[in-house]
A and B are shown apart, each in its own frame.
Chain A
Amino acid sequence: MDDIFGIPAPLLFGQLLLGLINGAFYAMLSLGLAVIFGLLNIVNMAHGAQFMMGAFCAWMLLAWAGIGYWWALILSPIIIGFTGIVLEKLFISKLYKLDHLYGLLLTFGLALIIEGVFRNEFGSSGLPYRIPPELSGAWDLGFMFMPIYRGWVVVAALILCLATWLIIEKTRLGAYLRAATENAALVQAFGVNVPRMVTLTYGFGVALAAIGGVLAAPIYSVNPQMGSNLIIVVFAVVVIGGMGSILGSILTGFALGIVEGLTKVFWPEASATVIFVIMAIVLLARPAGLFGRA
């Protein structure tokens, strides 16, 4: 067996793969954040709570209505996306003209309230959600035992990220959205309903978080703090990638997943901090982030 830096090669490959899987979650969540920040200029601190709501929605659909995983994957983002639209209409839309800080504080407050309500209702130790039978089991890759479900998460995340990037960068709708962020008044003058478009964009960003939640439900326990554990890391990913850069957040998400995975082998105690160390270095060297425009 070959060793790389004193670590058996199969173990290292396994860790790289696991890093990629975690990276898929980072990418999916930071993508939603980047879309919302890029087009609405809102730092959506409620993103973690919305990710958690997506997971809970899947659990409720199964436990209360007998609706399984595949339908949840479609229904949960629609339902949670709709709650996002309501939030945008009621609160967030009032803040577009103010400083970023107000949006951050509002959404942070909303996140605390949402998490508190769920904690009160469902406790903190979590609820079981089983892997769908079609995706249970595992492949033996030789160097590691790869659960089919985790493979599916990576594929699903890649498809979602690519599709979002294509929509925003390559379609007419995406062009309107980007134009509206540059000069909303002008786009409105061309007959595009900008406020509605912005509302729907927020709903879409929230729906992305909810899909992430549904994908995470069978792997992690479905509990109210599942989002807050992840959201800080995801923010670091967005900052490193460059606030508002869609491609940046996707690539950084996957890359940092891998870096974190490797840290777990070489220096496990530091695995929770490594991303923030990178963030500090990137901010010093390139304040706009790796892919951001200054």
Chain B
Amino acid sequence: MTECTSRRGILKAAAALPAMGGLPWRSARAQAANTVKIALLCDFGGTYRDVTGPTELACIRQAAAEFSNRGFNVEVLYGDNQNKPDVGSNLARQWIDRDGVDVVVDGGASSVALAVNDVVREKNKVFLNTSSATSDLTGSKCSPNTVHWTYDTWMLAKSTGGATVKAGGDTWYFVTADYAFGHALERDTTTFVRNAGGKVLGSVRTPFPGTTDFSSFILQAQASKAKVIGLANAGSDTVNCIKQAAEFGLTKRGIKLASLLMFLPDVHAIGLQTAQGLICTETFYWDLNDRTRAFTKKMRPNISVPLCMNHAGGYAAVLHYLKAAADMGVAQARANGVETVNRMKAMPCDDDCFGPGQIRQDGRKLHPAYLFEVKKPEESRGEWDYYKLLQTTPSEEAFRPLGDGGCSFVKA
């Protein structure tokens, strides 16, 4: 069968040859050299699909469209990482080796992102990480080829964790997704809770992916008598935890839930009735200011789930990359990933989603972090109107100080 197909393929190619005789080969090759290839790697079919997936793809295409008349072409590819590090890193390798991809965007789940981080570094391409949480990407696992754009576990721990301890939640118990992301989020939050004088009474590690019933873990958390249950998980895991905690009456007993990583689509899925009063941190909200509203209006026809910071991160990171590529010339940008990332670091950032900002030496993109409270159903005035802004952490305080991360190539 294979032989038959390949023989047929050869015959077809042979038949097509005369037709291609007139094709301007040189110009086709020139066009390829003048094309930047961007590939989005994230979850297209699982837990994290709605907070990345097709909506982020639409945002990246938007950024590419805005650069359509700058004298070079932008081609966007995408693939599903299935939340598996081996699948993700193989796809990235294949894209770079076979398809000539220059930039891998997102990466997805932290475990996948750490694997892709190594691949991109080895191949000297560019990795724009826009939805992974682990702060190790700019710490012990930092890479000169990587920009970590949207948020990280340290920032979440400081904003949501810090605010919860300040409000009196000084004893914690963690329900942690059992992989790189959950571990990093638990570790970073624990540091904040302890530094603020609080105590961590314990934690339970839940298998990922594949856990749907969290009631057992929630009861263990309740039995610890902690005032706060820290949810070091994301996506539908967080949704199920919050729903089931409400079902078992934890909130009625005065136990607080700290949803350390929650996105607007999650709130949409839980429903305001159950989610009201929860606090969470994002670096983008569609209704934050005139620029974010304008961006959302522009995107609205192409999306079906509410925009969250990951989607915005995809747009903004690609936009900034394209600015740098246009600035240094496409050929040079494609040739050397480290040099391109260095140019991105040297140029100030500015976009509709995150406003003005900059990329630090270790690859950390700096912008403000916003602490939100989920509105009561009667406070919500329209579609996706779910958040009330509680506090803003300015960009210089929102992320881990440069010296504390332990990034190997940061000069003291």
Minimum CB–CB distance from B51 to chain A (whole Å) comes to: 7
**Which chain A residues numbered 123 to 162 have a C-beta less than 8 Å away from chain B?**
123-128, 130-131, 138, 144-145, 147, 149-150
Alpha-carbon distance A130/B270, docked complex (angstroms):
10
Minimum CB–CB distance from A55 to chain B (whole Å) comes to: 12
**Which chain B residues numbered 169 to 223 have a C-beta less than 8 Å away from chain A?**
178, 204-207, 209-213, 215-217, 219-220, 223
Q: Which of A10, A126, A219, A273 has the most CB of B within 10 A?
A: A126
Which residues of chain B are within 8 angstroms of A147 by Cβ–Cβ distance?
A: 247-249
Q: Is B236 part of the contact surface with A, judged by Cβ < 8 Å?
A: yes
Contact A124 B212 (CB under 8 A): no
Contact B269 A127 (CB under 8 A): yes
Alpha-carbon distance A260/B178, docked complex (angstroms):
17
Minimum CB–CB distance from A177 to chain B (whole Å) comes to: 32
Alpha-carbon distance A15/B220, docked complex (angstroms):
9
Which residues of chain B are within 8 angstroms of A149 by Cβ–Cβ distance?
A: 247
Write the A17-30 contact mask toward B (1 if CB under 8 angstroms, else 0).
Answer: 01101100000000
Which residues of chain B are within 8 angstroms of A126 by Cβ–Cβ distance?
A: 236, 239, 269
**B247 partner, pick from A22, A131, A265, beta carbons under 8 A:** A131
**A125 partner, pick from B51, B223, B248, beta carbons under 8 A:** B51
Contact A220 B46 (CB under 8 A): no
Closest residue of chain B to A223 (Cβ to Cβ) is B236
Task: State the interface size on chain B (CB cutoff 8 A).
Answer: 45
Contact A264 B236 (CB under 8 A): no
Contact B274 A119 (CB under 8 A): no
**Which chain A residues numbered 145 to 186 have a C-beta less than 8 Å away from chain B?**
145, 147, 149-150
**A230 partner, pick from B43, B212, B265, beta carbons under 8 A:** B212
Which residues of chain A are within 8 angstroms of B211 by Cβ–Cβ distance?
A: 229, 271-272
Contact A219 B266 (CB under 8 A): no
Alpha-carbon distance A41/B97, docked complex (angstroms):
46
- Give the A-B contact count at a CB cut-off of 8 A: 119
Closest residue of chain B to A149 (Cβ to Cβ) is B247
Query: A18-B216, A220-B240, A221-B239 known; A125 and B265 CB under 8 Å?
Result: yes
Which residues of chain B are within 8 angstroms of A19 by Cβ–Cβ distance?
A: 216
Q: Is A14 part of the contact surface with B, judged by Cβ < 8 Å?
A: yes
Contact A268 B46 (CB under 8 A): no
Closest residue of chain A to B51 (Cβ to Cβ) is A125
Contact A268 B204 (CB under 8 A): yes
Alpha-carbon distance A270/B210, docked complex (angstroms):
12
Contact A11 B219 (CB under 8 A): yes
Q: Is A83 part of the contact surface with B, judged by Cβ < 8 Å?
A: no
Write the A254-271 contact mask toward B (1 if CB under 8 angstroms, else 0).
Answer: 000000010011001111
Contact A15 B274 (CB under 8 A): no
Contact B50 A145 (CB under 8 A): no
Contact A11 B249 (CB under 8 A): no
Closest 10 CB pairs of A and B: A128-B271, A272-B207, A124-B49, A125-B50, A125-B269, A264-B216, A126-B269, A123-B50, A11-B223, A125-B265
Q: Which residues of B contact A (CB under 8 A)?
A: 43, 45-51, 53, 178, 204-207, 209-213, 215-217, 219-220, 223, 235-236, 239-240, 243-244, 247-249, 253, 265-266, 268-271, 273-274, 304-305
Q: Which residues of A contact B (CB under 8 A)?
A: 8, 10-11, 14-15, 18-19, 21-22, 116, 119, 123-128, 130-131, 138, 144-145, 147, 149-150, 219-221, 223, 225-226, 229-230, 261, 264-265, 268-273
16 new A-B contacts at CB < 8 Å, known A124-B53, A268-B207, A268-B220: A11-B223, A18-B215, A18-B219, A124-B45, A124-B47, A124-B236, A125-B239, A127-B269, A145-B249, A219-B244, A219-B247, A226-B212, A229-B210, A264-B216, A269-B178, A272-B207
Could you write out 22 A-B pairs with CB less than 8 Å apart? A8-B223, A18-B219, A124-B48, A125-B49, A125-B50, A125-B305, A126-B239, A126-B269, A130-B271, A138-B249, A147-B248, A147-B249, A150-B247, A219-B247, A221-B236, A221-B240, A225-B45, A225-B47, A264-B220, A268-B205, A269-B178, A271-B207
